[in-house]
Structure 1
């Protein structure tokens, strides 16, 4: 089944390049090390879980349209914050020309100790849902029971594969466990920090949430590394 699915993805990528239709591919990988630095668990799979926020952001930029409706859901062009508020009107979500998304002030690169945006992890087990706007049960930053210390997101790692005409971006973040016990991770997410619409301060929007195929256990004094890879095939 996995081999057949990969064959279909490869066919889709090639068709997208041939027909000049942008086809993105996303992967995530989790790697766990114990306190001695030994790798004790690793998971990697395709992400299928861009949520409505991501689709609405993409449509706004491709169509040149503001987010223009106060409701959230099918047929509505709006965004829902991780806190639940719906944002719309006057503009799409923007990343500001005076704020670099290669820094940690905007976009997907969360700063140290910040569990509001960037790569986030959780312990919830709810099924993946296109309407999701937040993790089911977010694991908070800290050293208390069930918590992990969020390290600053790594710099973007951009690469180009001339053989497949593919641009790729790897974004990684480390999480340290100083809680005194094991911490279980069942879900991962990407949350964007961006401006507007309808406000002059940055908001946080989850654009992808993935339920792991198996629980990842981060041992006490251990470390988790989560990597999201987003790639796009360009026309031949």
Structure 2
């Protein structure tokens, strides 16, 4: 069963991308491709736009492009700070701010964003980083900083075995001048029962303090409607794709 965004919704996104190209404004787009299999057969396949970017993502863009420090002690409208997935606020206090890229001042070779456990690429068994899922269908909010009810890693009831997120794959369409980055993660249901997924999150690990201090931040949370059932002994494949149309 393949479920897609409505043609009317997709047409709006395409018009937005075209308008961004015409006006010279970068329009970053997110796409979700979700597949559930059981016994080697696809039981659910859905493609939709990821549209629920959070305040964390907006503040990161503003701070980087505006050369502004996230100095506010609180988190909310008109304020520059970040809220971690544990609910604590991170801000600039004099020595360090917050960056997406992992930076280790003492080991140059680790100054990169693509290894498992860094950037947006989750390591195996990590249910709090990278592409994550939950069971709560509460309405999306700009202020969300974590999934409402995250699904834990494991073999117990209601848990999923989280596979290490695959390396990101970059591609470029010269015709449309679109650069695309695709990230894939598999999760296995060995819990003994069915599990219903109602929310998908995209969590990025950023440096927030010393060279070795890293924290997780939710950049988007999409509610699935209809929800997606992962049967016992089934597997879900989640592909999160970011694309950007260039001018040249």
- What TM bracket, shorter-length normalisation? over 0.9
Q: How does 1:203-218 map to 2 (within 5 A)?
A: 203-218=215-230
- RMSD of Structure 2 on Structure 1 (CA): 1.6
- Matched residue, 1:23: 27
2:102 maps to 1:96: yes
Residues 1:136 and 1:179: Cα distance change in structure 2 (over 3 Å): same
Alpha-carbon distance between aligned partners in 2 of 1:131 and 1:7, rounded to the nearest angstrom? 27
Q: Deviations over 1:126-163 (max 9, x none)?
A: 10000000001000000000000000001101110111
2:198 maps to 1:194: no
1:165 to 166, 171, 177: 177
2:70 to 64, 67, 72: 67
Alpha-carbon distance between aligned partners in 2 of 1:229 and 1:205, rounded to the nearest angstrom? 18
Q: Is the 8 A contact 1:60 1:92 kept in 2?
A: no
2:45 maps to 1:33: no
Give me the TM-score of the superposition, normalised by structure 2.
0.90
Of 64-73 and 143-152, deviating more is 64-73
Shift of 1:11: 2.0
Q: Is the 8 A contact 1:112 1:152 kept in 2?
A: yes
Alpha-carbon distance between aligned partners in 2 of 1:235 and 1:135, rounded to the nearest angstrom? 35
What SS does the corresponding residue of 2:52 show, helix, strand or coil? coil
What SS does the corresponding residue of 1:54 show, helix, strand or coil? helix
**Which runs of 5 or more structure 1 residues have no equivalent in the other structure?**
none
Of 98-107 and 161-170, deviating more is 98-107
Q: Is the 8 A contact 1:99 1:106 kept in 2?
A: no
Alignment size in residue pairs:
235
Alpha-carbon distance between aligned partners in 2 of 1:156 and 1:133, rounded to the nearest angstrom? 24
Q: Is the 8 A contact 1:33 1:223 kept in 2?
A: yes
- Matched residue, 2:245: 233
